[in-house]
Amino acid sequence: MARIGIVFGLVLFGLTIAALSATTQKSYTQFLPMMFGIPLLFFGVVALNPHRRGDSVFAALILALVGMVIATVRTIVLAVSWVRGGDINSLSFQLVASMSVVCCVFVVIAGLWRRRRKAEEERVEDARRRSAALLRNPLAVNPPVADPVIPAHIDPENPYQTPAILNESSSTPPTDDPAK
């Protein structure tokens, strides 16, 4: 998404350069794409950093949305002026209309990217939560199996139920010495 932001910033910047080189008649409307293209380019460069990508794409999305609204309003104002018989700069009209389209395309692409990224983050977080739950409760993965070892009889002299190492015939514990 960072490269897409850079490309769209350069496209908006290029629209302004093309409009400025096409005519000697200048208007402030010709500079609108550049005013939005340079910050969009900047947000694209910032989005190259993976830690800043989400915030930068969101800021670029908001900037492109504002640019789309401003360009659409300016296009409507110029169209109404033209319909009423006023004299308008046709190059400015075309430039602002194309800026509106470029910003609209960027808003759609960035919105889809953010939605897809959020869904992926939710899938990863859900998998992380499930694996953490399995680590906390290992019986959820491996249910208890009936113990095949038959428990020894309860011996009052052996309260901890450790295996009896004494022979029933002798009352002394075995030793390591084979002579005894």
- Structure confidence by residue, pLDDT tens digits, 88-113: 888 889 999 999 999 999 999 999 99
Q: Which residues contact 42 (CB under 8 A, 6 or more apart)?
A: 9
What average pLDDT is seen over the chain?
Answer: 82
Q: What Å distances lie between residue 94 and 29, 89, 101, CA to CA?
A: 10, 9, 11
Q: Is residue 176 situated within a structural domain?
A: no
What is the model's pTM?
Answer: 0.68
Is the sign of the CA dihedral 119, 122, 128, 133 positive or negative?
negative
Which residue, chain included where needed, has tokens 């800026």?
99
Domain count, the chain: 1
Rounded Cα distance, 16 and 31, in Å: 6
pLDDT in tens, 2-49: 899 999 999 999 999 998 888 887 778 888 899 999 999 999 999 999
CB atoms near residue 86 (< 10 Å): 9
Cα end-to-end distance, the chain, whole Å: 83
Is residue 148, in this structure, part of any structural domain at all?
A: no
Residues of the domain holding 41 = 2-137
Q: What is the pLDDT of residues 120-174, one digit of tens each?
A: 989 999 888 888 777 776 665 565 666 555 555 555 665 565 555 544 555 555 5
Q: In the chain, which residue ranges form alpha helices assigned H by DSSP? A: 2-22, 32-46, 53-83, 90-136
- Examine residue 152 and state whether it is found in any structural domain, yes or no: no
HSE of 71, CA atoms in CB hemisphere, 13 A: 28
- Asked, for residue 179, whether it belongs to a domain, the answer is no
Within a domain: residue 106? yes
